[in-house]
Structure 1
Amino acid sequence: MRYLLYFLYVGWHWGLDLAFFIIRHEIRGEKKYGIRTIGTDNLASEVSKEDRKHIAMYEPVNYYTATWLFDHLQPADLSTTLLDVGCGRGRVLAMGAAYGFTTLAGIDLSPRLYKAAIKMRDILRNRYRDIRINVACQDARAYAIPETVGVIFLFNPFDQVIMEKFIAKVEESLLRRPRPLKILYANPQCKQQWLDAGFEETDSFVKMNFLRGSILVKGKS
């Protein structure tokens, strides 16, 4: 039933061709990673009235886009911390662990999604030896980005107003400890803000008009 409901959601908003494509990858991805993260969540009741203007309904990044982004990682990236901003039910954390990250962090503003991410954290801790995962229920605008973070995953978690403040937090972290930083950005609607902040786009893709991804980097490895 959950696949049917998500198919109808995608089909209604973006068309049946994309819905069939997405659902095929959802079925394969959920099976491959042994997780259950499909579905949307309305965050209206969990954020302030002011923040509702800036934060979209939650839905997990599609597996096609996430795989394309993760496939652009280098071995050196895996020795850093992966930070998933808007981690939701933990799909990206599960993928990151499968790709070889041993230190991961996720933040989400929603208490309900935070609880789901905690469950995923516990699953991954049981699945992988020596993995370290920290999940926080926190506003990205107030989050002190750990100096070990070398890769940040974004799936358009908020609009340009909040993104500007989050980029400032990223720059604060880089000032504390200068280092290479890579952004895996799905549906990069605020990409120009990162370019204006000195990041360089090293690769990107567009598929079926709606699926988009961008690799942004700052500093040399």
Structure 2
Amino acid sequence: MRVVKRIYSAWSRHSLGTLPQLIAKNFFYYLKELLSGRLFRESEEQKSEFDVAYGTETEKIREIGSLDIASENARYAVRYQPSPQNFVTEIIHALPIDYNQFIFMDFGAGKGRVLLIAAQLPFAAVIGIEFSRELCAVAIDNISKIAPNKRIAGQVECYYNDVTLHPLPGSPLVCYFYNPFDQLIMQAVVERLASSLKDRPREIYIIYIHPEHRAIFDAEAYWDVIDESNHHVIYRSRLDKLLECRQ
């Protein structure tokens, strides 16, 4: 029954031209998992140190086709897999900001691992946006398990919504992306961020892990690269450019 549901979900979200590519991609993925022995590993063995420490469930990968997603943008989404804890923690802790003045937003929050990491800093708020109702429910449950002594942020929430529709706060932002969707959706999100900056110039930091579509940010005049590696890039909004545009 689950297989039939996944096939129907994939059929409804993909054209005849792209469906064969999806089938091939999933075939080779599961073949790799089968040969590695990971496919039949018990869920208890898949628990990460993070989940053991927090009593959460953020580790298990979920393919988009296995999720019941109403949005048509599901065809442009990337499967859920958790962000690397130590790497992300180091990046967020190294930001040159006064956390109290910023709202942290995770675009494609999945099961909420990064929300839990950000919640341990004094952000004004930590907000996740997730368009899978099932993953959003898991994230909300995981948020409820944060120990009071580890929850420092003023507000920690995950919203069931599409990133192309969710309103952007007018305060300074830290925006997090773990390669959550393809070029089309990333372009739409970058345009919304640029429009928000024009309306209200302010500091916005972009943390982009596995930046497959960083060329979209690089093409905009509103962002400066302040840090990068083979696995990530961090941008900061160019207030000087924004103020020039308003004059």
Q: TM-score, normalised by structure 1?
A: 0.77
Indicate the residue corresponding to 1:185 in structure 2. 208
The answer to whether residue 190 in structure 2 is matched with residue 171 in structure 1 is no
Give the Å deviation of 1:50: 5.0
Amino acid at match of 2:225: E
SS in structure 2 at match of 1:100: coil
Across the two proteins, how many residue pairs are aligned to each other?
198
Letter in 2 for 1:99: L
Where does residue 15 of structure 2 map in the other structure? none
2:58 is the alignment partner of 1:37? yes
Between structure 1 and structure 2, the one with the greater Rg is 2
2:80 equivalent to 1:58: yes
Which residue pairs with 1:213 in the alignment?
Answer: 232
* Paired position in structure 2 for 1:76: 98
Kindly provide the CA deviation profile for residues 65-91 of structure 1, in whole angstroms up to 9, marking residues without a partner as x.
312421321242453100011111111
More relative contact order, 1 or 2 (CA 8 Å, 6+ apart): 1
Give the residue type in structure 2 aligned to 1:164: Q
2:143 paired residue among 110, 121, 143: 121
Does the alignment pair 1:96 with 2:138?
no
In the alignment, what sits opposite 2:184? Answer: 161
Q: Is the 8 A contact 1:40 1:57 kept in 2?
A: yes
Consecutive unaligned residues of structure 1, counting only runs of 5 or more, are 1-8, 17-25, 207-211
Task: Sort the Cα spacing of 1:49 and 1:173 in 2 relative to 1 into closer, same or farther, 3 A.
Answer: closer
CA–CA separation in structure 2 for the residues paired with 1:94 and 1:49:
26
RMSD: 2.9
Q: Equivalent residues in 2 for 1:2-41 (5 A)?
A: 12=32, 27-31=48-52, 35-41=56-62
Task: Using the aligned pairs only, state the percent identity.
Answer: 22
Please state how far the C-alpha of 1:102 moved relative to its aligned partner.
4.0
Amino acid at match of 2:92: F
Higher strand share: 1
124-133 or 175-184: which moved more? Answer: 124-133
Counterparts of 1:29 and 1:38 in 2: how far apart (Å)?
9
User: Shift in Å at residue 179 of structure 1?
Assistant: 0.3
Mapped to 1, the partners of 2:197 and 2:191 lie a distance apart of: 10
Structure 2 unaligned blocks of 5 or more: 1-28, 37-46, 241-247
Pick closer, same or farther for the CA change 1:48–1:28 going to 2, 3 Å: closer
